Amino acid sequence: MKKVIMGNHALSYGAMLSRAQVIAAYPITPQTQVVELLSEMCADGTLNAKFIKVESEHSAMAACLGASLAGARTFTATSAQGLALMHEMLHWAAGGRMPVVMGNINRAMAPGWSIWADQNDSLSERDTGWIQFYCASNQEVLDTVIQAYKVSEKLMIPSMIVLDAFTLSHTYEVVEIPDQSLVDQYLPPFNPPWRLTPDDPHAFGGLTSPDHYMELRYKLQKDMEKVPALVEETGKEYEKMFGRYLGQVEEYLCDDAEFIFVTSGTAGSTARVAVDELRQRGIKAGNLRIRLFRPFPFEKVRSILSRVPRVAVLDRNISYGHHGIFYQEVKSAMYGQPSQPLIFGFIAGLGGRDITRDSFREIADYALSRDRVEEEIVWIGVKK
Amino acid sequence: MSRKKEARKIIFESEKEMPPVPMSLGSMLHNRTGAWRNIKPVIDLSKCIKCGICWKFCPDASIDIVDEWPQINYDYCKGCGLCAEECPQKCITMVEEEK
Ligand code: SF4
Ligand code: SF4
């Protein structure tokens, strides 16, 4: 069935089709419709889940963790300040190996108070041990929720599905809503290897001495390293059943490219248009949109970028005193490789400023006219 | 069908033997928290009405009911004083622990 829905509702439908059993969330612009629709689904019986109202995002995640530990499939969604308030609980989720799936609408951090898109909220949670997927269409959002449960529950690592405020969250697109029976085939019920139950009592997350703490972290990292292959496997399986492939990255005309944009989120769609324009001008451009940001898809990124001379990384975020965060990550992935492209880093679109075809034209003109990296950060669209 | 493991401290030699999640495997019986105590609860049973409130409130489950009477297990009681606070008869006093 096809429906015209907003990005936020794509998250709700994804959670519904995945048969989430416990949903705990606190509303925040621009996430509100995600849980609004889910609460309606719970109320009218469309979704057989317990909807827990809470007084903060910290509690929302805490409620999900308790439920997850007891063996329930859990879902929540938040944005910006709400995600920041959850921060402590994000460590609990990953360190305690509770495969919660959460939607995060990329919104700029205050102050200045903002409700518009930028990635600093989710990227500030980079090191909490969550898997992170960045999406560029409403269809991708819905599909990725279902895939994320599959990946997360196999490895017992939580997942964050990230989408841009307004350009995706509030934008209506045609979305194919998969058949429930097919989704049930793809995603079996959650059956964790351990759980909180009076039948076999254990305390979880308790004091861990230096005898064992490091081994727990080692194991989390080892399981994180399994994610890229599992994303490929589950993405191909999804394609077989639903006709849409969900990989670690999305390549657009990268095969013969001599210049590649590295993008994420909705800017990745705009980049495709920019690539077409450059190709019309005779420049062999391509776009590599990173879908899976954590764990970082090292192999995939290396195999694509080591064949091109020039790369322009676009960041809708900044690590103050350093670079754009995707820029850091891409450079670190290419370090020590036998063939390294020139990698330029651009920052644009902070706090919801539009990233347009013109932005990409400016980026391309800059990168194609230089033979070495002259600036740590090239700012696009700052009123200097 | 509680499957309480024996009271021992488990130290793994290899990460391969460990579960990936921080969880208790043995019971906490090996962890005799009574040594943490500075003050200790003493029950005056002559005033006790066997209401069981102390048993219910003890956060460490260190009070047992033996033949209907409350009995403090000093191997585990941390001396928090909750039982003394909650006892409706005020028959539990906290006394200074001797070396
Ligand atoms: S002092 Fe605290 S720990 Fe000890 S028996 Fe009373 S309530 Fe329990
Ligand atoms: S609370 Fe006081 S009266 Fe009640 S059982 Fe305990 S010691 Fe006795």
What percentage of chain A has pLDDT greater than the value 90?
97
Q: Residues of A numbered 220-259 whose beta carbons fall under 8 angstroms of chain B's beta carbons: which are they? A: 220, 223
CA dist., res. A351 & res. A44, Å (int): 37
CA B2 to centroid of ligand 2, rounded, Å: 28
Average pLDDT over residues A76-96: 98
What are the C-alpha distances in Å from A196 to residues A61, A67, A192? 17, 9, 10
**What pLDDT does residue B28 have?**
73
Q: Is A36 on the interface with B (CB under 8 A)?
A: no
Pocket flag, ligand 2, residue B79 (CB < 6 Å): no
**What pLDDT does residue A151 have?**
98
Q: Is A199 on the interface with B (CB under 8 A)?
A: yes
Q: What is the pLDDT of residues A9-28, one digit of tens each?
A: 999 999 999 999 999 999 99
Pocket flag, ligand 1, residue B79 (CB < 6 Å): yes
**What pLDDT does residue B2 have?**
38
Among B21, B27, B29, B60, which would you mutate to test the A interface (most chain A Cβ atoms within 10 Å of its Cβ)?
Answer: B21
Q: Is A211 on the interface with B (CB under 8 A)?
A: yes
Pocket flag, ligand 1, residue B41 (CB < 6 Å): yes
Mean pLDDT score of chain B: 89
ipTM of this complex prediction, to 2 decimal places: 0.80
Q: What is the pLDDT of residues A357-368, one digit of tens each?
A: 999 999 999 999
Interaxial angle between packed helices A87-95 and A57-69, expressed in degrees from 0 to 180 and rounded to the nearest 10: 10
**Which residue among B2, B3, B22 places its CB closest to the CB of A206?**
B22
**What pLDDT does residue B8 have?**
65
Q: Which ligand minimizes its atom distance to the CA of B40?
A: 1
What percentage of chain B has pLDDT greater than the value 90?
76
Q: Find chain B residues with C-beta within 8 A of A211's C-beta.
A: 11-12
Q: Is A217 on the interface with B (CB under 8 A)?
A: no
Q: What is the pLDDT of residues A296-332, one digit of tens each?
A: 999 999 999 999 999 999 999 999 999 999 999 999 9
Nearest residue CA, atom 2 of ligand 2?
B87
Does residue A95 have a pLDDT over 70? yes
Does residue B4 have a pLDDT over 70? no
Report the 10 Å Cβ neighbour count for B32.
Answer: 13
3-state DSSP call for residue B63? strand
Q: Is A172 on the interface with B (CB under 8 A)?
A: no
Please, what's the b/e burial string for A310-345 (b: 16 or more CB within 10 A of its CB; e: otherwise)? Answer: bbbbbbbbbeeeebbbbbebbbebbeeeeeebebbb
Pocket flag, ligand 1, residue B92 (CB < 6 Å): no
Hey, are the CB atoms on B12 and A211 less than 8 Å from each other? yes
CA dist., res. A162 & res. A106, Å (int): 6
Chain Cα centroid distance, residue A288: 15
Q: Is A374 on the interface with B (CB under 8 A)?
A: no
Mean pLDDT score of chain A: 97
CA A202 to centroid of ligand 1, rounded, Å: 22
Does residue B3 have a pLDDT over 60? no
CA B69 to centroid of ligand 2, rounded, Å: 8
Average pLDDT over residues B70-75: 97
Q: A266, A136 in Cβ contact below 8 A?
A: yes
**What pLDDT does residue A372 have?**
96
Closest CA to A15 of A85, A72, A63: A72
**What pLDDT does residue B25 have?**
80
Q: What are phi and psi of A268, to 5 degrees?
A: -65, -30
How does residue B1 score in pLDDT terms, banded at 50, 70 and 90? very low
* Angstroms from B70 CA to nearest CA on chain A: 25
Determine the length of chain A: 384
Q: Which domains does chain B have, with CATH numbers?
A: 32-96 (3.30.70.20)
Hey, are the CB atoms on A212 and B20 less than 8 Å from each other? no
**What pLDDT does residue B5 have?**
52
For residue B65, the cross-strand partners are B70
CA dist., res. A136 & res. B79, Å (int): 58
The model's pTM is 0.90
**What pLDDT does residue A202 have?**
87
CA dist., res. A147 & res. B31, Å (int): 43
Please, what's the b/e burial string for A162-181 (b: 16 or more CB within 10 A of its CB; e: otherwise)? Answer: bbbbbbbbbbebebebbeee
Pocket flag, ligand 2, residue B65 (CB < 6 Å): no
Q: What is the pLDDT of residues A30-79, one digit of tens each?
A: 999 999 999 999 999 999 999 999 999 999 999 999 999 999 999 999 99
Please tell me the least confidently modeled range out of A99-108, A181-190, A256-265, B90-99.
B90-99
How does residue B29 score in pLDDT terms, banded at 50, 70 and 90? confident
Q: Which domains does chain A have, with CATH numbers?
A: 2-241 (3.40.50.970), 251-379 (3.40.50.920)
**What pLDDT does residue B98 have?**
80
